[in-house]
Chains A and B, each alone.
Chain A
Amino acid sequence: SQTIHQWPATLVQPVGSPLSLECTVEGTSNPNLYWYRQAAGRGLQLLFYSVGIGQISSEVPQNLSASRPQDRQFILSSKKLLLSDSGFYLCAWSGGRGQDYGYTFGSGTRLTVV
C-alpha cells in the first residue's frame, strides 16, 4: 500500500534562518506531488506541484522554493525565513488523475517562525 511521510512534525525557527521540509512517498512510482500551506484560521494554499523529477510548478510567488531530486521525494526550502512563513505545511500525492480520485495528504509540519 502507498504511504506518505512528512517530517519534521513541528519546527520552530528564527527569522532569517534556512528551511528544509521533506516529503517521501512509498509504494507507488511517478506520483504527482504537492505542497500546500495552511495559515492560522485560513484555507489551503497550493504552493508547488510536480509531475516528475526536476519538474516544479510554482503557484504563488514567495520566499519558498521546491525541488524533486528523486521520483518519490519532494523538498520545500527557504534560504531566509520570514515571520509570514509560519503555518501548517502539508505534502500530498496523487496518481495520474488526482483531479478525479483526490489526493492523499501527509500528517503535516507545523512551522513557527520567531
Chain B
Amino acid sequence: GNSVTQMEGPVTLSEEAFLTINCTYTATGYPSLFWYVQYPGEGLQLLLKATKADDKGSNKGFEATYRKETTSFHLEKGSVQVSDSAVYFCALGNTDKLIFGTGTRLQVFP
C-alpha cells in the first residue's frame, strides 16, 4: 500500500541553521510528492511539489528532490528563520488521494 514516513519532531534549531526534515515513502506506481506547511491555528499550505523522479521542488528557500532509488523526498533549507516555525507534512499523491505523513514540528529560536 501507499504510506509516508516522516522523522519525529520537534526539530529545534537556532536562526540561520541548516534544516533537513526526512521523508520516505512506499507507493505503487509513480506518485507525485508534496510538502505542506501548517502555521499555528491555520490550515495547510502547499510549500512545494515534484511529480517525477529527479525533479526538484523549491519555494521560499526550501527544496526537496524526488529520489526514486531511495524512495525519499527530504525537505531542506540552508538558513532557517524564526518565521519558519510550523508543522511540515510530507505527502504522496496516488490514484485520487493524497496520503500524508504524521507531520514534523519545527521550532526556530533567535
Contact = CB atoms under 8 A, between A and B. Distances in A.
Classify the secondary structure of B's interface with A: strand
Contact of A102 (B34, B96, B99, B103): B34
B98 A98 contact: yes
Interface residues of B, number: 25
B28 interface: no
A105 B45 contact: yes
A43 B44 CA distance: 12
Contacts of B89: 43-44
A100 B94 CA distance: 8
Interface of B: 31-32, 34, 36, 41-46, 49, 51, 89, 91, 93-103
Given A105-B45, A107-B43, 15 more contacts: A34-B97, A43-B89, A43-B100, A43-B102, A46-B99, A98-B93, A99-B32, A99-B93, A99-B95, A102-B32, A102-B34, A102-B93, A104-B46, A107-B42, A108-B42
